[in-house]
Structures are given as C-alpha cells and as structure tokens.
C-alpha cells in the first residue's frame, strides 16, 4: 500500500543529496513524497556550500497536518535545520509527528529541529558530530553510528550514511517498523 511521506525543509540551505536520495528511495518504492516548507514557492538546495538545484514546494507548514502523512523526513544541511528550528510552525509539526508515533527520519544537522521540538530527551540518536553537545544538553544520548533507530526516530550522521538511512526509512514504510540495518 502506498504511503505519503512529508519532507520538511526551509527555504534554502538544504543539502541536496539528503533531500533527493531519500525522495528517490521513497518514490522508487511506490510511495508519494510531498515537499513542505514554511513558505510557498521553491526551495534552494546546496552541494555543501555551492548553490545547486531548486525544488518546488508542494505544501506550506501552515497547511500540513500530521494525519495526512505516514512519515516525516528531515533533510540536513547546516542552514536548513537552523532556519527550521526558528520557525514555530515547523517545530510544532516535527513535535507532532514524533508524538504521533509515525516514523521521523532525520539526517546530518536535521536533529537540530528535533532538539528545538524538545523530543530527544531519553532518546538515542546520531547526527553530524558537531550536534552531539546540543543533543546531550537536550537530554538525548548521542552515538556515532551510521543509523540509529529509537522508537519512531531514525537518524543518520551524514551523506555517506544515505544507503542505511534510505533503506531503513523504506523498510519502516513497507513493514511498519524498522531495525537498524548497519
């Protein structure tokens, strides 16, 4: 059965491969991907610090409802989650997804949004190494592993972990749960 997956991003600073690879994995598995952002229009992706492609927003945060989706993906990039964590609507949407029990997959710097949503307390997760202090200060346990699954949270460290990240996300969509497949 086809699932509907929300990809939540800011207007710019998204690490392109951290959006496009999970998007491709989700759609190649027969599921429907929807790009959500605080504002309508298009978003700007980057390859590290270099401007890359843009992508059209499908839905604004204000119009997004957790009940309409089966999962949430939070791509990284430094600027993207830094902007999202300053947007109260985006933070609330992420918090509501975690509370729903639906899978929330965050890679690289994306756990910043989860820290801001105050949903990492007592949870085990990974991220880009520079976030480990933020995660620990928010009550989470940071580990250096390619993929970590804790309840409905799926986290990975960086683009090198995308094969694990994508396969774990798709496994959850297909089977209703996921095990860390490292």
Of 31, 108, 164, 166, which one is the catalytic site residue? 108
Q: How many angstroms separate the CA atoms of 135 and 114, rounded? A: 9
CA distances from 160 to 6, 96, 163, 176 (A): 22, 29, 8, 25
3-state secondary structure of 52: strand
Nearest to 87 by CA among 123, 124, 62: 62
- Tokens at residue 23, please? 């998007």
- Is residue 77 a contact partner of residue 71, using CB atoms and an 8 Å limit? no
Of 31, 109, 164, 166, which one is the catalytic site residue? 109
Q: How many angstroms separate the CA atoms of 165 and 182, rounded? A: 9
Mark whether 108 is an active-site residue. Answer: yes
Mark whether 166 is an active-site residue. Answer: no
Nearest to 22 by CA among 147, 133, 139: 147
Characterize the bridge pairing of strands 141-142 and 59-60: unpaired
Catalytic residue positions?
108-109
């Amino acid at each position: 059965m086809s699932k509907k997956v929300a990809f939540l991003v800011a207007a710019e600073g998204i690490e392109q491969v951290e959006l496009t690879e999970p998007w491709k994995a989700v759609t190649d598995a027969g599921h429907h991907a929807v790009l959500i952002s605080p504002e309508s229009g298009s978003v700007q992706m980057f390859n590290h610090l270099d401007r890359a492609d843009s992508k059209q927003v499908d839905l604004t945060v204000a119009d997004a409802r957790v009940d309409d989706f089966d999962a949430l993906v939070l791509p990284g990039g430094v600027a993207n989650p830094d902007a999202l964590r300053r947007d109260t609507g985006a933070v609330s949407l992420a918090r509501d997804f975690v509370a729903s029990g639906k899978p929330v997959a965050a890679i690289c710097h994306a756990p910043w949004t989860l820290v801001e949503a105050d949903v990492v307390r007592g949870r085990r997760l990974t991220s880009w190494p520079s976030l480990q202090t933020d995660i620990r200060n928010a009550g989470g346990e940071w580990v250096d592993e390619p993929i970590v699954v804790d309840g409905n949270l799926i986290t990975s460290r960086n683009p090198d972990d995308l094969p694990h990240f994508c396969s774990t996300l798709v496994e959850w969509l297909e089977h209703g749960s996921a095990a860390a497949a490292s």
